[in-house]
Amino acid sequence: MNNSVLFNHNYNGFHFCVDDLMLNSQGCDGSILIDNGEDSERKANGHQGVQGYNVIENAKAQLEIMCPSVVSCADIVAMAARDAVDLSHGPVYQVETGRKDGLVSRMELAARMPDVQDSIHILKQKFIEKGLNDRDLVILSAAHTIGTSACFFMTRRLYDFASSGGPDPSINPSFLPELMSSCPKRGNPNDRLPMDHGSGDIFDKQIFQNIRSGFAVLQSDAKLMDDPTIKGIVDSYFGLLSPLTGPSFEGDFMSSMVRMGRIGVKTGSSGDIRRVCNAFN
């Protein structure tokens, strides 16, 4: 398998893990992978457009042949996240393993998901509920430095922002025609565009520069500029002395990913190791 295909596959694993944590109260436990009907968590609106379920299943099938009932689906997506960052020229970090898979997957558990239309106040509150802080919000938003978004997450921002009948005024006027061309008003809502303008396949802090200059693709990313504290964190990764005295984007990302991966870990009887990832044992 060539690197570009492997990257695309592992990118999906990366956002599985982020979504699996952020979209429900269970933590990174593989609940998004379950396909048990219309009430399964993967059917939640915020999960629409997630791709690559078959890639996780294929990895699980190979592991079950080599070492049955040893590696959980939750650990597979966590390791896929690490590999996606590595393949996109990001930092290599240690993944803590030993998670078990969750025993619950229901759409209602996605009710407290961060939404692309949330205000910065709501986004901060949702991260606090997970035990994460303002820097984690900034850094994990920067996960959008790799991968794509479906156009249905863009429609309101481009064509009816705040019920105005027009676009979000925070979008740089020189960027707006490009976004509208990628996601036309009556186009295919499943069409996709990179979440990091000009750098969608490379792990870097270009996404912060895009956010600062009005080139954010997602509305929730643009909202980082609405809060002085959050804006200050974004700005701290730039400046003349930033490479010497400022925070490390790569180091902070690794720390936030490890903290995120510790939330809601299932052990003992609170979980099990599935034989296949899309169904409970």
Q: Any known ligand binding at 194? A: no
What's residue 106's pLDDT? 87
Which has the closest alpha carbon to 149: 278, 257, 47? 47
CB 24 within 8 A of CB 262: no
What DSSP character marks residue 225? G
Tell me, letter by letter, the H, E, C secondary structure of 132-147. Answer: CCHHHHHHHHHHHHCC
Banded model confidence at residue 19, pLDDT cuts 50, 70, 90: low
- Flag whether pLDDT at 56 surpasses 90: no
pLDDT score of 9 more than 80: no
Please report, for the chain, the start and end positions of each structural domain, with discontinuous segments joined by +.
3-113+261-270, 120-258
The verdict on whether residue 19 carries a ligand-binding annotation is: no
Query: Is 108 known as a binding-site position?
Result: no
Ligand-binding annotation for 184, yes or no, is no
Tell whether 29 is in a known binding site: yes
Mean pLDDT of 156-182: 96
Percentage of the chain exceeding pLDDT 90: 54
Q: Does the annotation flag 27 for ligand binding? A: yes
Give the pLDDT band of residue 26 (cuts 50, 70, 90): low
Q: At the top level of CATH, which class does the domain 120-258 belong to? A: mainly alpha
For domain 3-113+261-270, the CATH architecture is Orthogonal Bundle (1.10)
- Choice between 167 and 49, residue whose per-residue pLDDT is larger: 167
Tell whether residue 72 is among the known ligand binding residues. Answer: no
Is 114 one of the annotated binding-site residues?
A: yes
Token pair 């558990």 in the structure block, residue = 109
